[in-house]
Structure formats: structure tokens, C-alpha cells
Amino acid sequence: MVHDRRNRLAGGTFFFTVTLMDRRSTALIDHVADLRTAFRLARRERPFCLDAIVILPDHLHAVFTLPPGDPDFSGRWRRIKGHFSSALIQKGVPLGRHPNGDLALWQRRFWEHTIRDHDDFARHVDYIHFNPVKHGLVQRVVDWPHSSFHRYVSGGILPSDWAGDAADLQSDFGEP
């Protein structure tokens, strides 16, 4: 029997990859306002700091920091996924179901990595921001609208031309 081996670090910072069941789907960007609302509702119910995020058509990457004394990132993802799924159902978006009746919108699990230090944090935030270029969705990071990159630019943390143009770049952001 395989046991869950997640690092339950209270107050920790974590990198996540969360994916839709259908990798051809564009539901996350087609309904990005509903996804943003799902995050807002989940953060109201179970606070956390959303340090960085990028929303792509079929998956998203995020870095969260949990409150001191609270290790439950899985519960937060359950709420985010649940709020988003409910919003799509209310809109009448057809969603598949597993044989047991559960919705088949999201992959059941997600990838999580515990951020170890400042360099690890910076590497994963860079990976998040560069991801739309990596997937060929845009030529420049600034051109992807569904990213915390714009918050980093408006806050003076990164320049708007950060990472340049994909045609001129050989990058090594985040994990290989």
C-alpha cells in the first residue's frame, strides 16, 4: 500500500502544479474569471499567501505560503478545485464524470515541492513566469495575461522586458 508522502510543513512555502484531467482542455483560461473567484473564496475560507501563479489552458503553477501553524495545502486545493468546478456546473459547462460519479475535470493529485530557501523560491517563481513562453503560448513573458508576472512588474520587482524574447533566449528557469 502506498502512503501519502507529502511534506506537511506548517507555515511552509510550496510550489504546485495542478492539472486538468483533459490535457487538451482550455477551461482554465476560458473561465479564468471563475478560477480567480475560486482562489478568492478559498483564500477567504482558508487564508494563504499566493506568492506567484501562472494559469495556462490545461494546468497552472503556483507558489503558496501557508500561515504559521497551518500545514494543510491539500485542503486549500480541494476548496479551489471545488469552487471552480461548482462555477462551471452553474454555468452549464458540460463536465465528464468518473464511473464512481466524481467529476472528471481535475486530475486527482497535484505536484508539490517544498521551497527550501530564497534561491529555490526565486528559481520557482522564474519558472512560473517563464512557463507560457516555454509552452510556446507567447514570445515574451509580458504578453501572457494570466500571470503574477504583471504584479511583480507593477511592484517594481521585475522589469517588463524580463527574460527578453523567446527567439533570442536559452533559458534554464525552475526545475529541468
Q: Which sequence spans correspond to the domains of the chain?
A: 13-168
Instruction: Please tell me the CATH code under which domain 13-168 is placed.
Output: 3.30.70.1290
Query: Can you read off the three cell numbers belonging to residue 121?
Result: 523560491
CA distance 63 to 53: 6
| Rounded to 5°, angle at Cα 127 from 124 and 129 | 110
Asked whether 46 and 75 are in contact (CB, 8 A), the reply is: yes
- How far is the CA of 102 from the CAs of 7, 39, 94, 99, 125, in angstroms? 26, 21, 14, 7, 33
Q: How confident is the model at residue 176 (pLDDT cuts 50, 70, 90)?
A: very low
Spatial strand order in the sheet of 59-65: 49-55, 59-65, 13-19, 111-114
Quick: pLDDT tens for 79-125: 999 999 999 999 999 998 888 888 999 998 899 999 999 999 999 99
Share of the chain above pLDDT 90, in %: 80
Quick: pLDDT tens for 13-48: 999 999 999 999 999 999 999 999 999 999 999 999
| Average pLDDT along the chain | 92
Mark residue 42 as left, alpha or beta (left: phi above 0; alpha: psi -120 to 50; beta: remaining): alpha
Phi first, then psi, for residue 63 (nearest 5°) are -120, 125
